[in-house]
Each structure stands twice: as C-alpha cells, then as structure tokens.
Amino acid sequence: MQVGDPFTEKLLIEACLELMATDCIIAIQDMGAAGLTSSSFEMAGKGGVGIELDLDLVPMRETGMTAYEMMLSESQERMLMILKPGREPEAEAIFRKWDLDFAIVGRTTDSGRMVVRRHAAVVADLPIDPLAKSAPVYERPWAETPSPQPFDPSTLPRRDDPIAALKRLLACPDLASKRWIWEQYDHMVMGDTVQRPGGDAAVIRVHGAAKGLALATDCTPRYCYADPVEGGKQAVAECWRNLTAVGALPLAITDNMNFGNPERPEIMGQFVGCIEGMREACRALDFPVVSGNVSLYNETNGVGIPPTPAIGGVGLIRDLDRTASLAIKTGGAKLLLVGDAAGAGWLGQSLYLREIEEREEGAPPPVDLEQERRTGDFVRGLIGGRVGACHDLSDGGLLVAVAEMALSGGIGAAMEMDDVQEPWHGWLFGEGQGRYVIAVAEDAVNAVAVQAGAAGVAVRLIGTTGGEMLTLAGGHAISLQSLRVAHERWLPNYAAGVGARSTTGGTG
C-alpha cells in the first residue's frame, strides 16, 4: 500500500483551488479506490457521456505496467478533471507552477462507452451505465445484535482510592497522551492553526479571514459492539459535541465504516445497526453526511474488528475570538457540570469497568438526542462570553475530563462531592452522555444557572480551579506532575518496545 505524501497532497490542493478560481473546469473528482477506473466511470455516468482514454499518455512511476494495473492503480495525490476545450494550456501552466505532473489522457464522447487504449490497441470497450448506474445491490441477510442489559454498579467491589484509578485510566491506550505522535509532524502549516493538537477539536483559521473551521473525529467501538444502534448514535453525537466544545456550529460529517466480514449475518447486523443509529443522530442534530467510505472484511484468523463507524465532522466558527479550549486558564474559576440530568453513574462498557475492574459488560450509555442538542446549543451560546474553558465528557467520565483540563492548562482543581449520593466510581467515572464541564468566573455562576434554567439544561457546581494539585473530598489528591508522567509515558514506552500499560497507583 502506498504511503501518502502530505506535502504533494498540499501542492495538489493549492493547484486545484487556483484552477477552480478560473472557469476552466467542467468536472473534477479525486482518484480513490480503483483509481482511474472508478473516477472515469463515475464521472462519465453522472454526466451521461462516454470517455476515451489513452493510457500511453498517463504519467507512470515505473515502466512496464499493464493496462489492467494502470486502470486499477490507487496511487495517491491524483485528480481527474474534465476541462473546457482550449483551456488545457492554462490548466497545465498552473500545475507546472506547483511542480506537479499534468497530462491530457483522453476525451469525452457521446457514445456512452468507455474505450481504453494501450500501445495503440483497444484493450477495453464497454458501456458506462451497467457499471456506473446498474451495479447489483446486495441484499445480505443480517441478524440483529441482542440488546444488553444495563450494568448494575452495585455489583462492583468497594475501592477506596479514586486517584489510583484516575492514574491508571490516564495511562491506558485510549486516554494516554498522543503528543509523542503529533509533535513529530508540522501542525502549524502557514500559521493558520489556532488550537494545537490535544483538544476536543482542531481549530484552523480560514486563511486571511477572521472565521475558522473546527474538525473532529470520533468513534467508540466498544459501544458499537455492545449495541450497534446506540454506538452509531453516540459516534455522531460525540463528534457534534466535540465541535460544540470549541464554539463551532457543527455543519456536516463524513463517515468511515470499518467492519468485519459482511457475509456473516451478525457482522452485517452490526453494520445495519450502526447506520440506523447514525441516521437517527444526524437527523436530530441537523448534521448531514456529505461523504464517506466503507472498509469491510477487516479480520484476522476469522475474527473481525469491533464495528468502527468513525465519524469526521466539520464546524464553522464565525469569529475566532469567540472560541473555547479545554485548558483551565486561571485559578479561582468555578467548574460547572452542564447536562448532569443526561445521566451520571453509567458504567456499562466504560473504561473504568474495563481498566479497573477488568470487565466488559452491560449496555453502553444511551444518547438522548433531544437533550444532547438542547445542552450543546446552550453551551455553544455561552462560549465567547462567560466560558473560559470547556470540555465534553466521554471516555473516563467526569474526573478524567477535569484532569485533562487541568493538565492542558497547568492549573489544578479541587472537586466538590458533598451531595453525591451514589458510589464515587459511578459519579467520577460514569460515561453518561450529553455532558460538558465549563470554567466560569465566580461572579458568573448565578447568571449561567439562570440561563440554564430558562433553556431547560441542568447545571451544578463541581469544583474550583487553582494550585498544582487535583484534589477530591476525603483527602485524595495528586500533583499535576504525577498525573502528567502517567498520562504521557505509555505511548513512548510502547513505541520503544515496552508495550506495558501503567498500573501504578498511589497519590503522588
């Protein structure tokens, strides 16, 4: 499989954008799966025309390729364009300027057929429509995934050190810092990166403008495996939530559907269930799917991967001065949990259950889409005004979210748990959906509470920022430095061949 070339991709994007600013282009499509075959047939089919291709004119990295190989090659960083007659020199000049290959490899016809030549001989001649428009539709048998019962947290043993659990969670592969990866790449290209990696969503300036784009990718495969419908719903909702957390208005998603062998009814059932959950969430959140792809038969020795409908979302930030990040920025601010009514204490399929109790069972947290939207719209309305920091709750629950905010800003926090009735592991590590933690000035707490009441959104005070420690009721505390070591060491150790996740407890 070819390794992508991000620099060439960037040049290709810039050249295409420059050409699009002219009126040279009639149609354009990137070359993905099946390379020239897919792109040419799809473009011809959509336009109701035929195409003649001369493969002798196609640039090749190596000689001796057969027509079969050339038509199916999936080399990256390529586009296929239909240009207005006579505008070819203008297009070529732009691509040469960006040091890119450019070749006229064929023409459109009114035959409705694809004719391919190699070494002056016709190697393919077939109609467009049967492939582009009349491909058979699979009606595969599928079996619905049985709905699991909610997990009963009262079955868990009593544990007396939430800080030890926090350290272990922050050092597990799901939550460990990925800084070791992203710091190896240039993530400040052209100086338009507004928020660096590590937050809820990437924030990029639209070059030369005051507005920006937010981008996020999300999926929780363990949720999708336990309950594909709720898992698909949650993948869309969490992406929507991550864009909201930086102040962006979510616009649209692309999906990347990764599953095992769909010829097995239980796998096809996972696929069907995830799509149903995604559809429901997209409609409720006004978050349409505009593109996507599917990767099936992902198995090793007959064992499929967990169902993984990865969701990539984009949102609009109209004013980059009105954004939020997860970093706690000042001491003395109040931490508020927004959306508490959405459900704390849900431990089914949680990281706490997997990492601390070594159990994977129960139903994943349900997603109340009506409340999800109401809470997210409320939080987005606060950002740029009273909110100094914002972070959504997902893997690891409340305490992990506050710890990530503290680590990002280098400022600690003291958590309040005086009126918590349920066991601390449910309150601190439950993964109930539709929730955010925000930091606001002390004198803004009452005003936020009033606004929340009017919007039908639950808000409660959970702590105060300050110092260099993360503290809980009952004398539990840990320094940010100790947390940072646990959070950042797993991935470099794994890359170096150690591979063992941290299980160190204690209160540091």
Per-residue pLDDT of 401-432, as tens digits, reads 999 999 999 999 999 877 766 678 889 999 99
Q: What is the pLDDT of residue 502?
A: 42
Q: What is the pLDDT of residue 498?
A: 59
pTM of the full predicted structure?
A: 0.86
Opening angle at CA 220, ends 198 and 476, nearest 5? 60
Pick from 474, 438, 500, 491: which is nearest to 163 by CA? 474
Q: What is the pLDDT of residue 410?
A: 96
Q: What is the pLDDT of residue 503?
A: 40
Q: What is the pLDDT of residue 505?
A: 37
Pick from 3, 4, 7, 187: which is nearest to 100 by CA? 7
Q: What is the pLDDT of residue 346?
A: 92
Can you tell me the distance from the alpha carbon of 158 to that of 177, in angstroms, rounded to the nearest whole number? 29
Instruction: For the chain of 508 residues, list the mean pLDDT of each consecutive stretch of 10.
Output: 82 96 94 89 93 94 89 91 96 96 96 94 93 81 95 87 95 94 80 88 92 97 98 98 97 97 97 98 97 93 95 96 94 94 78 95 95 96 89 96 97 85 83 96 95 95 96 90 94 77 37
Can you tell me the distance from the alpha carbon of 333 to that of 464, in angstroms, rounded to the nearest whole number? 6
Quick one: CA dihedral 321, 324, 328, 334, positive or negative?
positive
Q: Is 106 helix (H, G, I), strand (E, B) or coil?
A: strand
Q: What is the pLDDT of residue 362?
A: 95
Q: What is the pLDDT of residue 196?
A: 85
Q: Among the residues of 286-386, which ranges form H helices?
A: 351-355, 369-382
Quick one: CA dihedral 263, 265, 266, 271, positive or negative?
positive
CA distances from 156 to 146, 161, 357, 365, 400 (A): 24, 14, 8, 18, 20
Q: What is the pLDDT of residue 340?
A: 75
* Cβ contact 338:378 at 8 Å: yes
pLDDT tens string 317-333: 999 999 999 999 999 99
